[in-house]
């Protein structure tokens, strides 16, 4: 029995088939004795055996008194069965419709044919070239001296027969040298850091002009018709080591131009093409404190507070009293004031001594004046050479500091004030 029929039977039970309805009691058939076959009742051929009256079947035209009549179903029972059947059909149809709809929601079908995704819809990422896949960059061609037509490379430099460790390294280790520029038949070069270190390892590298090389020097080779010939005496101090009174980039450029022209006949107009220009940074020195006051004395750090105390006939003493504008205050600390010649004062000093041929009793020095309660008193003995290289003094900063502090001590100036009063030399 299927589920729908079971549902219908549970709603509309049939009276003679439901549980709890008593089945009609059928009276038992009367026993028929099994009489032995006799001649009287034995069937003969072509004649059937007679049926006993007691065993004859009842007349269907008339109900048997032994079988109860089946009760008649009321008219409304039939109507209810029909309604239930119709309702069942409607439920089945509705279930089918909802099933189709549910399938459509769970698995939506496209409205039309879905085009296949194009293979070019997403651009493929551009592959990153490996470091070795890029073509090698060709090095730029070296500049050419327009005067000689020869390229500015160290391969075109030859060395004289002079002695010296640096000259020997120029032949053996040409990579230790770097060309700076060439113009007007001249080529300028310098030591690389590695080249200078090699000289130091070989016990050289500390003497300019002796063929052993020195840190920071510029070297010049002159064209001789076939190559640039280097003479170990043609050199000047470079931007990192050259010292001037003012210490500015303009001062350094003017000083180097003067040395090139005076010593080797190299025109200042060639200097930019040969060695360039210095960096426009001021020399390392304490900031000028002309408008400030010494915190230890309360006195203003100006030249107006400086008074000369001895040797009134000395050039510097006369110049301080007559032209205090020729001097620049560096700093003041601990009851001391330091000053030096200004750029204009240094030039005036040079001009006067060249014109008078006097003994140079002054030069680019540091001057120190001690506060006496009313003014900063300057004595001639309180003069110390500045950071410019000096004969017999190693040009390296630590050696220069040691030499200047020794001079300060001899002049009676506290060495502990050195950094505050005059700073440190350039590296």
For 192-213, how does the pLDDT look when each residue is reduced to its tens digit (9 = 90+)?
A: 888 888 887 887 765 544 566 7
Evaluate if residue 91 carries a pLDDT over 80: no
Structure tokens at 169: 């390294």
Which residue bears the tokens 């000259």? 167
What's the pLDDT score for residue 19?
A: 45
Q: Give burial (CB, 10 Å; 0-12/13-18/19+) of 137.
A: exposed
Output 353-358 pairs: Cβ under 8 A, ≥24 positions apart. 358/315
| Rounded Cα gap, residues 260 and 242, in angstroms | 13
| Rounded Cα gap, residues 51 and 48, in angstroms | 9
Evaluate if residue 166 carries a pLDDT over 80: yes
Three-state SS annotation for 15-52: CCCCCCCCCCCCCCCCCCCCCCCCCCCCCECCECCCCC
Query: Rg of the chain's alpha carbons, rounded to an integer?
Result: 63
Residues present in the chain in total: 427
Evaluate if residue 39 carries a pLDDT over 50: no
Mean predicted confidence (pLDDT) in 8-35: 51
More confident: 321 or 100: 321
Longest dimension (CA), the chain: 198
Mean predicted confidence (pLDDT) in 171-187: 93
Evaluate if residue 315 carries a pLDDT over 70: yes
Which residue bears the tokens 């004031």? 337
Evaluate if residue 358 carries a pLDDT over 60: no
Evaluate if residue 314 carries a pLDDT over 70: yes
Predicted TM-score of the model (pTM): 0.39
Counting residues of the chain whose pLDDT is more than 90, the rounded percentage is 22
Q: Where are the domains of the chain?
A: 154-275, 303-422
Q: Phi then psi for 146, rounded to 5 degrees?
A: -65, -20
More confident: 226 or 106: 226
Evaluate if residue 49 carries a pLDDT over 60: no
| Rounded Cα gap, residues 422 and 284, in angstroms | 9
Sheet with 217-223: strands ordered across: 157-159, 228-237, 217-223, 186-191, 177-183
Mean predicted confidence (pLDDT) in 26-37: 48
The pLDDT confidence band at residue 288, using thresholds 50, 70 and 90, is very low
* Residues 185, 145 contacting (CB under 8 angstroms): yes
Q: Which of 373, 374, 375, 366 is nearest to 413 (CA)?
A: 366
Evaluate if residue 131 carries a pLDDT over 60: no
Q: Phi then psi for 369, rounded to 5 degrees?
A: -125, 135
Evaluate if residue 85 carries a pLDDT over 50: yes
pLDDT tens by residue, 50-64: 545 444 455 544 544
| Rounded Cα gap, residues 242 and 247, in angstroms | 9
Evaluate if residue 424 carries a pLDDT over 90: no
Q: Residue 388 pairs with which residues in a beta bridge?
A: none
The pLDDT confidence band at residue 354, using thresholds 50, 70 and 90, is low
More confident: 345 or 420: 420
């Amino acid at each position: 029995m299927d589920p729908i029929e079971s549902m219908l039977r549970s709603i509309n039970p049939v009276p003679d088939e439901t549980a709890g309805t008593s089945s009609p009691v059928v009276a038992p058939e009367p026993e028929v004795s099994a009489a032995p076959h006799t001649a009287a009742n034995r069937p003969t051929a072509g004649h059937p055996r007679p049926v006993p009256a007691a065993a004859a079947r009842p007349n269907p035209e008339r109900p048997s008194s032994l079988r109860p009549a089946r009760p008649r179903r009321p008219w409304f029972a039939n109507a209810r069965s029909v309604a239930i059947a119709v309702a069942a059909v409607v439920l089945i149809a509705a279930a089918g419709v909802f099933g189709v709809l549910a399938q459509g929601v769970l698995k939506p079908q496209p409205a039309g044919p879905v085009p296949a995704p194009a293979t070019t819809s997403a651009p493929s990422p551009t592959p990153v070239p490996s470091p070795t896949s890029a073509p090698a960059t060709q090095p730029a061609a070296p500049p050419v001296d327009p005067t000689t037509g020869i390229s500015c490379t160290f391969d075109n430099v030859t060395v004289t027969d002079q002695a010296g460790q640096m000259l020997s390294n120029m032949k053996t280790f040409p990579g230790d040298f770097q060309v700076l520029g060439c113009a007007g038949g001249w080529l300028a070069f310098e030591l690389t850091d590695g080249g200078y270190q090699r000289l130091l390892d070989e016990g050289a590298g500390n003497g300019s002009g002796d063929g052993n090389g020195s840190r920071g020097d510029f070297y010049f080779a002159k064209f001789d018709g076939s190559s640039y010939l280097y003479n170990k005496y043609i050199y000047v101090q470079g931007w990192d080591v050259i010292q001037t009174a003012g210490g500015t980039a303009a001062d350094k450029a003017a000083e180097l131009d003067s040395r090139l022209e005076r010593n080797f006949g190299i025109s200042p107009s060639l200097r930019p093409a040969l060695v360039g220009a210095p960096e426009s940074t001021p020399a390392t020195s304490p900031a000028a404190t002309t408008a400030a006051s010494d915190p230890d004395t309360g006195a203003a750090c100006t030249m107006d507070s400086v008074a000369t105390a001895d040797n009134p006939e000395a050039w510097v003493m006369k110049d301080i009293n007559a032209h205090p504008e020729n001097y620049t205050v560096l700093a003041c600390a601990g009851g001391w004031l330091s000053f030096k010649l200004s750029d204009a004062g240094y030039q005036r000093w040079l001009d006067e001594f060249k014109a008078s041929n006097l003994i140079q009793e002054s030069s680019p020095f540091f001057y120190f004046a001690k506060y006496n309660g009313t003014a900063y008193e300057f004595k001639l003995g309180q003069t110390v050479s500045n950071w410019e290289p000096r004969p017999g003094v190693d040009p390296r900063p630590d050696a220069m500091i040691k030499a200047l502090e020794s001079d300060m001590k001899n002049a009676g100036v506290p060495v502990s004030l050195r950094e505050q009063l005059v700073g440190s030399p350039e590296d």
